Amino acid sequence: MSEKLTVGISDWKICGSPDSLVTYALGSCVGICLYDKNSRIAGLAHIMLPDSTAITGGAATRAKFADTAIVDMIDAMKAKGANITALTAKIAGGAVMFQSASAQFNIGERNVEAVRKKLAELRIPIVAADTGCNYGRTVTFFADNGALEVNSASKGRSMI
Amino acid sequence: MAIKNFEDLGAMEIDVLTEVGNIGAGNAMTALSSMIGQMVDIEVPAVNILGFQEAIDYAGGPEKTVVGIIVPIKDDIEGEILFLLENDIVELVVSTFFGTSDIDLLNLSPDMTSALTELGNIMAASYVNAIAELTGMKIEVEIPMLSIDMLGAIMSVPAAQMGELSDKLLYIDNLMLIDKVSVKSKMMLLPTVESLDKLLRSLGVIA
């Protein structure tokens, strides 16, 4: 029997085959899925903010930020036996939920940019992405084969 | 004493915020009642201090489809008024203005969404005007924004904004009653920590 583990907002989890990871209703947040296909170890992070170094308060929660969540999740995947030099990434979310002239509401775009930058720095290739636009996404990541299912209220279901 | 975290609030401060919410929401509901021609009552508000995931679960769960309206507020109090409207209120508004209650939240016409945005604007302005009058503070509402989507995706936006300063959200939430029946739609005030400090100071609760 495979288990489906739920990842909350500002949280990450890892699992091995045949289990899967789900996170609900990514809006401006980004879901980062990392996978090592040989060990079939998967990780899913649901980050809210781009950069832990850019803010003054509340920075202790490392799972909240793209930069800190990614490195912590990689450490946990390594400890579980993943080959971290072989990791690939799939990302989803980072929508602009509200159209506004004010840059503070474009947090989705900034989140995607920060995730791409951190993954590039760690030399982890992004093999699939479904980001931006203006709608929320629920994603399920399968450790068995690294497939990512994306569901949205307006666009339905797709596999990337 | 200064309020630097939501956790710094004591029972007395929470009581005062509850009353502030009561006065603001009372004024907003009067505005709503006159627009839809039906009496809307409120119950005593609740002041909630919750983690981001808890706040989403408490508001109805991440995947529920809602009409989300954010009205940013600025000047002496900064933060947002957030509406999470469900079928109950949306049907009432649409039937009042458009004569039909056969609606699908994901397929509202542009006229319907602008009527809902305007409703949010008027209710938010009524809410903050009551608080401004009570405290002598200057509070302005900015242009409202609407999105119809999963509740969790909508709440990710205020969560990200408050998340720069805190790991929790504080929201003052009112239960609305129409014809004595409680509705699921929500209107809530989400102030920043700094604004709470100013608000409580203006009322002489903290020195």
Are A97 and B154 an interchain contact pair (Cβ–Cβ within 8 Å)? yes
3-state secondary structure of B118: helix
Q: Name the residue facing B106 among A29, A105, A153 (closest C-beta).
A: A153
Number of domains chain A is built from: 1
Q: Is the pLDDT of residue A101 over 70?
A: no
Q: Are strands A4-6 and A20-26 parallel, antiparallel or unpaired?
A: parallel
Which chain B residues are within 8 Å of A64, Cβ to Cβ?
163, 167
Tell me whether residue B133 is in a domain. Answer: yes
Q: Give the CA count within 13 Å in the CB-facing half-sphere of B183.
A: 23
Tell me whether residue B39 is in a domain. Answer: yes
Number of domains chain B is built from: 1
Range of the domain at B66: 6-202
Which chain B residues are within 8 Å of A10, Cβ to Cβ?
52-53, 163, 167
Range of the domain at A24: 4-159
Residue A56 has a pLDDT of: 63
Residue A57 has a pLDDT of: 57
B interface mutation test: which of A6, A9, A109 has the most B CBs within 10 A? Answer: A9
Q: What residue ranges of chain B have pLDDT lower than 50?
A: none
Contacts of B15 (CB under 8 A, 6+ apart): none
Are B63 and A138 an interchain contact pair (Cβ–Cβ within 8 Å)? yes
Convert the pLDDT of each residue in B157-206 to its tens digit: 999 988 888 888 999 988 888 888 888 899 999 999 899 999 999 998 88
Are B146 and A57 an interchain contact pair (Cβ–Cβ within 8 Å)? no
Convert the pLDDT of each residue in A47-77 to its tens digit: 999 999 877 655 578 999 999 999 999 999 9
Residue A154 has a pLDDT of: 82
Q: Which helix (H) or strand (E) holds B24?
A: helix B11-36
Catalytic residues of A: 29
Tell me whether residue B1 is in a domain. Answer: no
Tell me whether residue B207 is in a domain. Answer: no
Tell me whether residue B82 is in a domain. Answer: yes
Tell me whether residue B59 is in a domain. Answer: yes
Residue A85 sits in a domain whose CATH number is: 3.30.1330.200
Convert the pLDDT of each residue in A3-47 to its tens digit: 999 999 999 999 999 999 999 999 999 999 999 999 999 999 999
Q: Name the residue facing A25 among B72, B152, B165 (closest C-beta).
A: B152
- Looking at residues A87-112, what average pLDDT do you find? 89
Residue B176 sits in a domain whose CATH number is: 3.40.1550.10
Are A49 and B163 an interchain contact pair (Cβ–Cβ within 8 Å)? yes
